[in-house]
Amino acid sequence: MLDISRATLCLGITLAATQALADENTTWRLFVADHAQPLVQAIDATTGKTLDRFEIKSPARLYSSESGSTVFAVQRDADVVSVISSGISLSDHGDHGDITIEGPRLLSSEIAGKKPVHFFDRKGEIAIFLDGEGAARIVTEKSMIEGTPDIREVTAPSPHHGFAAAFGDHVLVTEPHRDKPADELPIGLRVLDEAGATVGELHECPDLHGAAASGNLVAVACSSGLLIVRSGAQGPSFNFLPYGKDLPEGKSTTLVGGKGLQYFLGNYRPDAVVLVEPESEQPFRLIELPTRRVHFAVDPIRPKFAYVFTEDGKLSRVDVVAGKIAGTLQLTDPYSMDGHWNDPRPRIAVAGDKIAVTDPLKGVIHLVDAATFARSGEIAVEGKPYNVVAVGGSGEAH
**Residue 282 or residue 341: which is nearer to Zn ion going by CB?**
341
**Residue 10 or residue 361: which is nearer to Zn ion going by CB?**
10
Q: Is the Cα dihedral 248, 253, 259, 262 positive or negative?
A: positive
Closest residue to Zn ion: CB criterion: 93
Closest separation between CB of residue 98 and Zn ion, Å? 4
**Residue 12 or residue 196: which is nearer to Zn ion going by CB?**
12
C-alpha 218/C-alpha 230 separation (Å) is 7
253-292 footprint of Zn ion as x/- string (CB under 5 A): ----------------------------------------
C-alpha 303/C-alpha 259 separation (Å) is 6
User: 42, 104 in Cβ contact below 8 A?
Assistant: yes
Closest separation between CB of residue 6 and Zn ion, Å? 9
**Residue 80 or residue 331: which is nearer to Zn ion going by CB?**
80
SS3 of residue 257 by DSSP:
strand
**Residue 93 or residue 302: which is nearer to Zn ion going by CB?**
93
Question: In this structure, what are the phi and psi dihedrals at residue 151, rounded to the nearest 5 degrees?
Answer: -70, 125
Q: How many residues bind Zn ion (CB under 5 A)?
A: 3
**Residue 208 or residue 289: which is nearer to Zn ion going by CB?**
208
Which listed residue (6, 53, 93, 362) binds Zn ion by CB under 5 A? 93
Contacts of 281 (CB under 8 A, 6+ apart): none
Which listed residue (10, 90, 247, 326) binds Zn ion by CB under 5 A? 10
**Residue 100 or residue 328: which is nearer to Zn ion going by CB?**
100
From the list 45-53, 85-93, 234-242, 350-358, the region that binds Zn ion by CB under 5 A is 85-93
* Residue 77: CB atoms within 10 Å: 12
**Residue 10 or residue 51: which is nearer to Zn ion going by CB?**
10
| 131 near Zn ion, rule: CB under 5 A | no
C-alpha 108/C-alpha 148 separation (Å) is 9
| 90 near Zn ion, rule: CB under 5 A | no
* Residue 287: CB atoms within 10 Å: 20
Cα Rg, the chain, nearest whole Å: 21
C-alpha 209/C-alpha 341 separation (Å) is 16
C-alpha 163/C-alpha 161 separation (Å) is 7
Closest separation between CB of residue 48 and Zn ion, Å? 30
**Binding to Zn ion (CB under 5 A): which residues in 294-353?**
none
Q: Which secondary-structure segment (H or E) carries 179?
A: none
User: 249, 293 in Cβ contact below 8 A?
Assistant: no
Nearest to 384 by CA among 34, 40, 47: 34
**Binding to Zn ion (CB under 5 A): which residues in 95-114?**
98
Name the residues that contact Zn ion, by CB under 5 A: 10, 93, 98
